[in-house]
């Protein structure tokens, strides 16, 4: 942890990197026309005026454009990283230096620094929180439920110094939250089901203009990008095993096949497995796929999808990566116990010896697209972050009326984002004629 973390309203690697961060953020902005339009409206209407907003997101050029949009809307923004490896240090510096945002994020930060940065975002005393993986909301709930032992030490030590009233105020001060990713939404829905959710949450991931595009095309492309940058592997002719055929898995399988791989899918859901089979992939249980794969990628949101027994069955030189939210999909503890390593081979590639074989793990099993590449392209994040900005506005305007549940962004806003994106892409579509409208609304016409 750097000395600045406790005193200054930011903790970034090097403010001297800000010019590069600004140039790259402006480059991303060119591909974010929908968010830009929202920013212009926010600057005029100031829907977030007077709001303190804490965001825990991957600190990338696209997030920088979102953060600046939220500020244009009047919010006082604090930002920490949602993953210790995904921060772009130049972008963090740019947001502090050129926009005066309170940014707490350093690429490669250790466990304690990661959580001290989360603490700093909580100490901002937000009335709106924005999460990618429910870390802020999770901590707020451990405070609300007085489960301080479940907090990471840097957060726990800080909370222990707060009075009961201050703790209560920290939680009750939150009007509502927004959540970016599948894994976060699953957890929040579990909290709502158990009756412990303390405030409303808008599930940005559930918008069609988010998961249909970001999870599929964004993760698809950037996961392949991360693997290529880390390994410089020739994908053509290799066998790539894709664990999980949800939105992310579908997108990655499509791109791997496009690059010439023989793609095998593993699933636990019969419908998804059937879909993969009919999309032309080979579907196998992991125990079988383990024997033939050259590259393995988990995209499930589940725990220990690749276990020691699978790694033992893998071929010499197999490469294992994860693009699901948390670094729990590959059983690295098991590998640590049974194997020897890690031995650094290249950036984001570690060698392990197991049963006399060599295996390679990318990016410590963390999101390979964000650790070894730059995350999703700006054009797709344009829609995800348009959803985030509109969700923050929705929480600011309606949070107190919404129940303590997980909500979707209203359908009209989702449709409006798609309309604006098409417009920006110069793509026209047809409108229903009055005759068609009447036909679709009736049950007796034209039968």
Ligand X SMILES: NC(=O)c1ccc[n+]([C@@H]2O[C@H](COP(=O)([O-])OP(=O)(O)OC[C@H]3O[C@@H](n4cnc5c(N)ncnc54)[C@H](O)[C@@H]3O)[C@@H](O)[C@H]2O)c1
User: Under the rule (CB under 6 A), what is the footprint of ligand X?
Assistant: 181-183, 211, 215, 219, 243-249, 266-269, 272, 299-302, 305, 323-325, 367, 369-370
- Cβ of residue 269: shortest distance to ligand X, in angstroms? 4
Nearer to ligand X, 47 or 138 (CB): 138
- Do strands 319-322 and 357-362 pair parallel, antiparallel, or not at all (unpaired)? parallel
Of all residues in this chain, which one has the CB nearest to ligand X in the complex?
246
- Do strands 102-104 and 282-283 pair parallel, antiparallel, or not at all (unpaired)? unpaired
- Cβ of residue 32: shortest distance to ligand X, in angstroms? 17
Nearer to ligand X, 285 or 317 (CB): 285
Q: For 330-366, give the DSSP string.
A: B-HHHHHHHSEEEEEEETTEEEEEETTEEEEEEGGGS
The order of strands in the sheet holding 319-322 is 282-283, 262-266, 239-243, 295-298, 319-322, 357-362, 349-354, 340-346
Nearer to ligand X, 42 or 385 (CB): 385
H-type alpha helices, 279-367: 286-292, 308-313, 332-338
- Cβ of residue 58: shortest distance to ligand X, in angstroms? 8
Nearer to ligand X, 120 or 373 (CB): 373
Q: Are 214 and 383 in contact (CB under 8 A)?
A: yes
- Cβ of residue 194: shortest distance to ligand X, in angstroms? 20
Q: How far apart are CA 89 and CA 393, in angstroms?
A: 28
- Cβ of residue 128: shortest distance to ligand X, in angstroms? 21
Peptide bond before residue 342 is cis, with ω within 30 degrees of 0: yes
Q: Write the DSSP symbol of residue 441.
A: H
Nearer to ligand X, 144 or 367 (CB): 367
- Do strands 201-203 and 176-179 pair parallel, antiparallel, or not at all (unpaired)? parallel
- Cβ of residue 337: shortest distance to ligand X, in angstroms? 21
What is the four-CA torsion angle of 406, 329, 59, 32, rounded to 10 degrees?
A: -70
Q: Write the DSSP symbol of residue 315.
A: P
Angle between helices 61-72 and 89-99 (to 10 degrees): 20
- Cβ of residue 4: shortest distance to ligand X, in angstroms? 29
Nearer to ligand X, 246 or 334 (CB): 246
Nearer to ligand X, 18 or 221 (CB): 221
The candidate with the shortest Cα–Cα distance to 168, out of 190, 195, 198, is: 198
Q: Are 151 and 138 in contact (CB under 8 A)?
A: no
Q: Name residue 57's beta-bridge partners.
A: 81
- Cβ of residue 163: shortest distance to ligand X, in angstroms? 36
Nearer to ligand X, 164 or 278 (CB): 278
- Torsion 334-365-350-13 (CA) sign: negative
């Amino acid at each position: 942890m750097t000395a600045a973390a406790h005193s200054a309203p930011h903790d970034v690697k090097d403010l001297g990197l800000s010019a590069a961060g600004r140039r790259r953020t402006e480059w991303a902005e060119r591909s974010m026309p929908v968010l830009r339009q929202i920013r212009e409206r926010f600057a005029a209407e100031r829907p977030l005026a007077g709001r303190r907003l804490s965001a825990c997101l991957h600190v990338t050029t696209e997030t920088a454009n979102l953060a600046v949009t939220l500020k244009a809307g009047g919010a006082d923004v604090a930002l920490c990283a949602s993953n210790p490896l995904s921060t772009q240090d130049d972008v963090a510096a740019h947001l502090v230096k050129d926009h005066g945002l309170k940014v707490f994020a350093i690429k490669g930060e250790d466990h304690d620094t990661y959580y001290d940065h989360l603490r700093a975002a909580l100490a901002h005393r937000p009335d709106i929180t924005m999460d990618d993986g429910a870390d802020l909301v999770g901590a707020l709930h451990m405070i609300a439920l007085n489960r301080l032992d479940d907090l990471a030490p840097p957060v726990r030590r800080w909370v222990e110094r707060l009075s009961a009233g201050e703790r209560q105020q920290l939680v009750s001060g939150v009007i509502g939250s927004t959540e970016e990713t599948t894994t976060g939404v699953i957890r929040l829905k579990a909290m709502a089901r158990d009756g412990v959710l303390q405030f409303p949450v808008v599930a940005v991931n559930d918008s069609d203009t988010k998961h249909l595009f970001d999870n599929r095309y964004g993760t698809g492309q950037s996961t392949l990008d991360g693997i290529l940058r880390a390994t410089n592997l020739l994908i053509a002719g290799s066998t790539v095993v894709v664990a999980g055929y949800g939105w992310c898995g579908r997108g990655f399988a499509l791109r791997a096949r496009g690059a010439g791989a023989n793609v095998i899918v593993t699933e636990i859901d019969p419908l998804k497995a059937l879909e993969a089979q009919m999309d032309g992939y080979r579907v196998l249980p992991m125990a079988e796929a383990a024997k033939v794969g050259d590259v393995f990628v988990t995209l499930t949101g589940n725990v220990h999808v690749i276990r020691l027994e699978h790694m033992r069955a893998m071929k010499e030189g197999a490469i294992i990566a994860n693009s699901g939210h948390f670094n729990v999909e590959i059983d690295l503890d098991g590998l640590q116990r049974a194997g020897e390593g890690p031995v650094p081979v290249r950036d984001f590639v570690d060698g392990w010896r197991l049963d006399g074989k060599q295996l390679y793990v990318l990016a410590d099993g963390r999101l390979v697209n964000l650790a070894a590449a730059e995350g999703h392209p700006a054009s797709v994040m344009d829609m995800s972050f348009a959803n985030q900005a509109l969700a923050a506005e929705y929480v600011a305007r309606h949070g107190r009326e919404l129940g303590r549940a997980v909500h979707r962004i209203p359908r009209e806003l989702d449709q409006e984002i798609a309309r604006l994106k098409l417009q920006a892409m110069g793509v026209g579509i047809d409108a229903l004629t009055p005759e068609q409208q009447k036909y679709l609304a009736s049950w007796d016409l034209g039968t």
